A and B are shown apart, each in its own frame.
Chain A
Amino acid sequence: MSASPLLLALLGDARLPSGGHTQSAGLEPALRAGIAPAEVPAYLRSRLRTVTMVEAGTAVVALAVAANDGDLTEVEAAWAARTPSPALRANGRRLGRGYLRVLQRLWPGPVDAHARTWSRPVVLGLLAHRAGMDPADVARLVGYDDAQTVAAALLKLEPQDPLTIAAWVSELLPNVEKMAGKVAPLRLPEQIPAPGAPLIERWAETHDTITERLFSA
């Protein structure tokens, strides 16, 4: 089954009220740690190859497991094992609760009692199953959302011509497609890729302890 492309637009829209405006996809701590705004395109590509691929792979596997009526707790554990930063795990689970609200309102139905403790990609996989999305679209959504989150946060943190930043996202789209193609066939928790991004994880930990910040993570 394949859902309308407009569903992808709905879920990828920053105006979807799921709490996305509190996020910088690690950009705020990265800038604070010294990366230059001109390096953001490289930062986007690094995320796509590492943490974002973990998220996308997790969402795809969660979709497959949900479709087979399997145990999403195992998918959650696989995601957690690939997300070493406690701050990022806590943030991912807060985002999961935001998407759970979206799921329960737009695609109502019974959910597991543990669902409130699941991370965003696991909830997104469940949502994708309910909404009839195909795996590649879920992976595209995760990749696109991550890039736009960085882009929107950059406009707040190091303002510059918004169209320059939109162009960066546009130029990244083939990379998002490639990443989505790579993870789309995954079906089992152990297949979720496990690339690390130690700096992103470390910056997230530092960010969690400071008192001056615009974004949660």
Chain B
Amino acid sequence: MPENTTAPARAMRLGVAGPVGTGKSSLIATLCRALSGELRLGVITNDIYTDEDARFLRSAGVLDPERIRPVETGACPHTAIRDDVTANLLAAEDLEADFGPLDLVIIESGGDNLTATFSPALVDAQVFVLDVAGGGDVVRKGGPGIARADLLVINKTDLGVHVGVDVERMTREGRSVRQGAPVVALSRHDEASVRTLTGWVRDTLAHYRTGEHTPVDPGPMAPHFHTGQDSEEPHLHTHAHDQDPAHAGHSA
């Protein structure tokens, strides 16, 4: 059952995290291209050395350049999305103040390592992006983003044949690491995969609006285990148990 039934007053904030070069900016450009006709969008980029990502997105012509804002992270991309989200929160507030009500604010993290995930104080939902060119084994390494982001995207599937990665196997292993939580194998040249991605965004936004979506912190911690049959220990994490069959019964 949904725990929170209060409809939110602000746009949904969707984080896009993942290592450098996996295609975060490109994925956001794809989302903007596909959704800007139906949703009021804003984008915040967390650049490390430059405003390269913001310039890329502006030049892609997928959104009014004014709706794409870079924030500086002081060389701490991890901090900016997790330990001190102030700069990003203020940028999100400003976008909504400047462009009236928005439906979706997409926040791109600076490319970081596998442990970098967004704080639920900043985003309502988050996508973690890997790409096949990074190697088929990365998904098996796991980590909070891969295992517990709301969505895992395995990007650049069209490159699989060129880099000797079995995309289907990588996707299957992703589902296994995530205990069945959603994985999208994406190529921007593959329309069907783009539709799957935008469908997920629409569904998540719909759940957010009805108050059925609970922000989940993928956390920096190792996965937890429900061991004891009658353990009274409180969980260190929050997640929507109704969406996670693996946790349906604590005594399992």
Seen from chain A, the residues whose Cβ lies within 8 Å of a Cβ on chain B are: 15, 17-24, 94, 97-98, 101, 153, 156, 211-216
Contacts and interface: CB of A to CB of B under 8 A. Distances in A.
Contact of A215 (B50, B74, B79): B74
Interface in B82-106: 83-87, 89-90
Interface of B: 48-52, 55, 71-76, 79-80, 83-87, 89-90
B241 to A, nearest CB: 29
Nearest to A214: B75
Contacts of B84: 15, 17-21
Contacts of A17: 83-86
Decide if the interface of chain B is mainly helix, strand, loop or mixed: mixed
B49 A214 contact: yes
Contacts of A15: 83-84
Given A18-B86, A21-B76, 17 more contacts: A15-B84, A17-B85, A17-B86, A20-B84, A21-B74, A22-B71, A22-B74, A24-B74, A94-B87, A101-B86, A101-B89, A211-B50, A211-B55, A212-B51, A214-B73, A214-B75, A215-B72
Contacts of B86: 17-19, 98, 101
Contacts of B73: 21-22, 214
30 contacts: A15-B83, A15-B84, A17-B83, A17-B84, A17-B86, A18-B86, A19-B84, A19-B86, A21-B76, A22-B71, A22-B72, A22-B73, A24-B74, A98-B90, A101-B86, A153-B74, A156-B74, A211-B51, A211-B55, A212-B50, A212-B51, A213-B49, A213-B50, A214-B49, A214-B72, A214-B74, A214-B75, A215-B72, A216-B72, A216-B87
A212 to B, nearest CB: 5
Contacts of A18: 84, 86
A65 B86 CA distance: 27
B20 to A, nearest CB: 16
B72 A213 contact: yes
Contacts of B79: 21
Nearest to B91: A94
A20 B85 CA distance: 10
* List of 9 A-B pairs having minimum Cβ-Cβ separation, nearest first: A19-B86, A17-B84, A21-B74, A98-B86, A156-B75, A212-B50, A216-B72, A214-B75, A22-B74
A213 B86 CA distance: 19
Contacts of A153: 74
Nearest to A152: B74
A19 B49 contact: no
Contacts of B50: 211-213
A49 B50 CA distance: 32
B72 A212 contact: no
Contacts of A98: 86-87, 90
Given A17-B85, A22-B74, A214 B48 contact: yes
Contacts of A216: 71-72, 74, 87
A149 B60 CA distance: 36
A34 to B, nearest CB: 20
Task: Name which of A18, A21, A212 has the most chain B CB atoms within 10 A of its CB.
Answer: A21
Nearest to A216: B72
A21 B90 contact: no
A19 B90 contact: yes
Nearest to A17: B84
A23 to B, nearest CB: 7
